[in-house]
Structure 1
Amino acid sequence: MYHDCTQVLDSDATTYPDDPPVELAPHTTFEKDGYRVTELGFGTHSGTHIDAPSHTEPDGRTLDSFPIETFVFDAVLVDCRGKAAREPIDRTDLPKSTGGDLLVFHTGWDAHWGTDAYFDHPYLSAEAARWCADNGYHVAIDALNVDPTPTEGAGDVSGNAKDKPEGVPAHHALLGTDHLIVENLTNLDGLPEQFTLDAFPLSVSDADGSPVRAVAEFQP
């Protein structure tokens, strides 16, 4: 069974602050040219996407340096839907047993896609991210970022000034050890605890990240 976990790339797509917006414009039309071509504009971290180590690590690997089979993940779903806005996912929230090579954090925050609330997602604590890396896990999440996303009101949502983001420790813990990050997943409801997640990036040279078509495979 196949289950699409990909956000649609359109002009309303939520992007990280100051990243390029997603733009679609007609380049040719049936009426004028007899055929249709759409011009696309977006950053490498638009929509449902995968981060390469070179995203945050100066000497990190690019996506094209990973074998293609790397992007077929043995995924384990971690239910974090009880987390509040800007609340960290801690080490105690992680599974006690190990298995698979990708932890998929199901926060339910994809319900806020396209709204300001999407920026106030739960995130991985530095300790949790280090545990994932130490235990050989790549990480995926149905939110904008595995670290807290900076916004003007960050720290006000939770009432705790300490929630204002400083750096990207979860990214460094994971990408700094050659573990990949998939962000902006959606439609995780109904998935079993274990499944295969296919998340193939575009074949872009020297890529620090890329949109993916994320598809879960499992037996019903």
Structure 2
Amino acid sequence: MPTLDLTHPLATGMPVYPGTEPVGVEPDATLDADGYRTTRLDLDSHAGTHVDAPAHLTDGPALDEFPVERFRFDAAAADPRPLDARERVDLDAVRAALTVDPAEVDVVVVVTGWDRHWGDERYFDHPYLAAEAAAWLADHGCDLGVDTVNPDPTPTERAGEGEPDGFPVHERLFDADRLVVENLRGLDRVPDRFELHAHPLRFAGADASPVRALADTGDADSDGNDHGD
């Protein structure tokens, strides 16, 4: 079964949510100096491709309180493109972009194509989901995946008037004990329906964790490659 890697590699200086400590991925021991290799990872729990738990913003469960099967998702892609910077993706757009009933899947991944801006400032001026769309997904028992740093608007100097403050999309989902997978990449390559694996690291009280996000597509990719790094 072909597998697509939807994960941004962890690397020193990679993009992080504004105000978050930078990521460091550096050699700690080397063959020449120590006779073995180790690597030091300095990173926030929300760095890179990661999954958010309700404990991030509420008194809801942390990641370690979910069964491990919870992170293997029957996924559907919703592709409402083309989208402009900081464009609001409303409920009608999500409904129109879906080819399946959201009640039939575990997670809906919204394809914005904004992962193409990974590494530059425009990445933070991504499209964002309307709160009512998030509530609709939660009502259907769906988690959410996005190829942006945030399903809510990310504050930058280019923010527009009328954009919601805070994290209304997160809140609607977390109130229903749903999960949010952020900073996915390559969603333009997934079919309308696929299996998503996004297993977090195991640590107590995890509000979020980096994941290796993989898509089992069930069909051969058009160029015969799995696009892994």
Is 2:19 aligned against 1:14?
no
Which moved further from structure 2: 68-77 or 31-40?
Answer: 31-40
How far is the alpha carbon of 1:153 from its aligned partner? 2.6
2:95 maps to amino acid:
P
Cα distance in 1 for partners of 2:188, 2:83 equals 16
Letter matched to residue 40 of structure 1: L
SS of 1:20 mapped into structure 2: coil
8 A Cα contact 1:12 1:114, kept in partner: no
Residue type matched to 2:62 in 1?
T
Contact 2:80 2:94 in 1 (8 A): no
Amino-acid identity (%):
47
Q: Matched residues in 2 for 1:172 and 1:152: separation? A: 24
Distance across 2 between alignment mates of 1:152 and 1:192:
35
**Equivalent residue, structure 1, for 2:153:** 148
Q: Counterpart in 2 of 1:204?
A: 203
After alignment, is 37-46 or 18-27 more displaced?
A: 18-27
Question: For 1:85 and 1:153, how far apart are their aligned partners in 2?
Answer: 10
Tell me the distance in 2 between the aligned counterparts of 1:89 and 1:184: 17
Structure 2: distance between partners of 1:101 and 1:22? 30
Distance in 2 (alpha carbons) for counterparts of 1:26 and 1:8: 16
Q: Are 1:167 and 2:172 matched, yes or no?
A: no
Provide the residue aligned with 1:185 in structure 2: 184
Deviation at 1:95, TM superposition (A): 2.9
Partner of 2:128: 123
In the alignment, structure 1 residue 43 sits paired with structure 2 residue 17: no
Q: TM-score when scaled to structure 1?
A: 0.94
What residue is the counterpart of 2:222 in the other structure? none
Aligned AA (1:38): T
* Counterpart Cα distance in 2 of 1:6 and 1:144: 13
Q: Give 1:51's aligned amino acid.
A: D
Distance, in Å, in 1 between the alignment partners of 2:148 and 2:118 is: 8
In the alignment, is residue 52 of structure 1 matched against residue 57 of structure 2? no
SS of corresponding position for 1:118? helix
Cα RMSD of the aligned pairs, angstroms, is: 1.1
Paired amino acid for 1:63: L
SS of corresponding position for 1:95:
helix
- Which amino acid in 1 is paired with 2:37? R
SS at match of 1:189: helix
The equivalent residue for 2:140 is 135
1:71 is matched with 71
Is 2:54–2:174's contact at 8 Å kept on the other side of the alignment? yes
Give the counterpart letter for 1:208 in structure 2: D
What one-letter code is carried by the residue in structure 2 that aligns with 1:23?
G
Kept in 1: contact 2:10–2:25 (CA 8 A): no
Quick check: 1:25–1:39 contact (8 Å CA) kept in 2? yes
Is there any run of 5+ residues in structure 1 with no aligned partner, and where? Answer: 156-160
- Whether the 8 Å CA contact 1:54–1:62 is kept in 2: the answer is yes
The one-letter code of the counterpart of 2:198 is A
Question: Within 2, Cα distance between the matches of 1:81 and 1:151?
Answer: 22
Cα distance in 2, alignment partners of residues 190 and 15 from structure 1? 24
SS of the counterpart of 1:215?
strand
Counterpart of 1:142, as a letter, is D
Give the alignment's TM-score, normalised by structure 2.
Answer: 0.90
Q: Secondary structure of the residue that 1:84 maps to in structure 2?
A: coil
Where does the alignment leave 5 or more consecutive residues of structure 2 unmatched? 220-229
Q: Name the counterpart of 1:158.
A: none
Alignment coverage as a number of residue pairs: 213
